[in-house]
């Protein structure tokens, strides 16, 4: 049972459809809450930025994996059980009982409109597979494509939107790092990245942070485009916490964390926008937040900042909207009102596609 201050009542189908036709910015996210030595999934939620209201979509035990491109369905898991959750009728369709899952790591993604990529775990062996998806139906497991070999140890999937290509992370003794695999398995190679890569929407390049506080940008083939020192206080260690490309691939939002190189204590998280056309960088607001993430709003006129902050009786989830034009920061923590005595985080976040009637 969750100890967090989360709404228990599930949103009704009528209220959900009203949200989906409201035209409002609706964030969908999962919550991960520490209990003892483990983390539990606190459920899946919707936050309406316009109405400043939180809704529960799925109960404790469920977590979000991904949102279908048109917002009609979600990939969600309950432990090792993966489901497609249809947002038209709130019905879930089983995909597999063998999903490998870990808090905060994506292990199931919509590859494209007709395929789901997932990491399965059978007999403690992890495999990347692709399941066909057509007419709201998942193909039988016998027809799924196996994209990794026995020696691989996939632990996470990286969003890439690269046609016909999957990006995944391995922690194997000989295969540790990031890899790309084509659906036909003809292209299977290590990615030039020492930390999580962030792929531009046009898939022509990707960015990642190095251990020496440098932002590195490469072409999809791995050719170096640019190395840039991350902005930060030279008194402290600083490193890339998260990044997000705009839909036109002309801007890269960055979050840089500073921490003491003596105690390891985290200080500030500063948000920036990098413009690769001229390599200019714009400094935005600085916050004090843990497990920080950054995303563009649907209209890309603002940035959504999320993470965890200390609270009076433990911890709270924090959600803000940052306007790059005037650096105005609006915080929604009191409307979100999610606290717990133990540490809790957003597991994954995405946007619910909404349209006006």
Query: Is the CB of residue 329 less than 8 Å from the CB of residue 288?
Result: no
Q: Is residue 304 part of a domain?
A: no
* pLDDT computed for residue 185 by the predictor: 67
In a domain, 133, yes or no: yes
- Domain assignment present for residue 355? The answer is no
Counting as low any pLDDT under 70, the low residues of the chain are 1, 173, 185-187, 262, 264, 356-357
Specify the pLDDT at position 357.
Answer: 62
Domain that holds residue 85: 61-191
pLDDT at 264: 67
Compute the distance between CA of residue 162 and CA of residue 208 in angstroms, rounded to an integer: 17
Pairing of strands 339-340, 314-323: antiparallel
Per the structure, how many domains does the chain have?
1
Any residues with CB less than 8 A from the CB of 131 and at least 6 apart, and which? 95, 96, 115, 116, 117, 118, 138, 139, 141, 144
In-domain check, residue 55: no
3-state secondary structure of 336: helix
In this prediction, residue 304 carries a pLDDT of 96
CATH number of the domain within which 159 lies: 2.120.10.30
Tokens found for residue 208: 């990642």
**What count of other Cβ atoms lies within 10 Å of the Cβ of residue 53?**
15
- Does a structural domain hold residue 252? no
CB 91 within 8 A of CB 126: no
Question: What pLDDT does residue 81 have?
Answer: 96
Residue 124 lies in a domain: yes
In a domain, 335, yes or no: no
Q: Is 135 left (phi over 0), alpha (psi -120 to 50) or beta?
A: left
φ and ψ of 125, to 5 deg? -120, 125
Q: Which of 236, 280, 230, 275 is nearest to 256 (CA)?
A: 230
Is 25 inside any structural domain? Answer: no
- Using alpha carbons only, give the angle 155, 157, 160 rounded to the nearest 5 degrees: 155
Q: What is the predicted pLDDT for the residue at 278?
A: 94
């Amino acid at each position: 049972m969750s100890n967090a201050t989360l709404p228990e009542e599930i949103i009704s189908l009528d209220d959900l459809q009203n949200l989906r036709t409201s035209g409002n910015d609706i964030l969908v996210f999962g919550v991960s809450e520490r209990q003892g030595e483990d983390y539990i999934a606190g459920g899946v939620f919707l936050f309406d930025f316009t109405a400043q209201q939180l809704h529960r979509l799925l109960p404790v035990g469920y977590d979000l994996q991904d949102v279908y491109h048109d917002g009609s369905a979600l990939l969600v898991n309950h432990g090792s059980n993966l489901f497609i959750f249809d947002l038209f009728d709130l019905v879930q369709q089983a995909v597999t009982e063998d999903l490998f899952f870990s808090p905060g790591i994506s292990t199931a993604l919509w590859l494209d409109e007709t395929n789901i990529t997932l990491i399965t775990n059978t007999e403690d062996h992890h495999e990347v597979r692709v399941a066909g998806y057509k007419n709201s139906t998942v193909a039988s497991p016998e027809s799924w494509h196996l994209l990794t070999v026995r020696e691989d140890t996939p632990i996470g999937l990286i969003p890439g939107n690269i046609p016909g290509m999957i990006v995944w992370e391995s922690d194997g003794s000989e295969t540790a790092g990031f890899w790309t695999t084509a659906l036909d398995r003809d292209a299977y190679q290590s990615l030039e990245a020492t930390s999580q890569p962030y792929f531009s929407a046009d898939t022509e390049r990707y960015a990642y942070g190095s251990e020496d506080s440098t932002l590195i940008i490469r072409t999809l083939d791995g050719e170096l485009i640019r190395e840039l020192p991350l902005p930060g206080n030279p008194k402290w260690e600083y490193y890339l916490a998260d990044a997000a490309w705009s839909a036109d691939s002309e801007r890269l939002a960055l979050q840089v964390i500073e921490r003491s190189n003596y105690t390891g204590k985290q200080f500030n998280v500063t948000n920036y926008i990098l413009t690769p056309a001229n390599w200019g960088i714009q400094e935005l607001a600085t916050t004090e937040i843990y497990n920080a993430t950054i995303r563009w709003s649907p209209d890309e006129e603002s940035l959504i900042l999320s993470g965890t902050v200390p609270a009076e009786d433990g911890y709270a989830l924090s959600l803000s909207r940052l306007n790059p034009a005037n650096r105005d920061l609006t915080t929604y923590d009191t409307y979100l009102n999610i606290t717990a005595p133990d540490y809790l985080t957003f597991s994954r976040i995405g946007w619910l596609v909404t349209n006006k009637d």
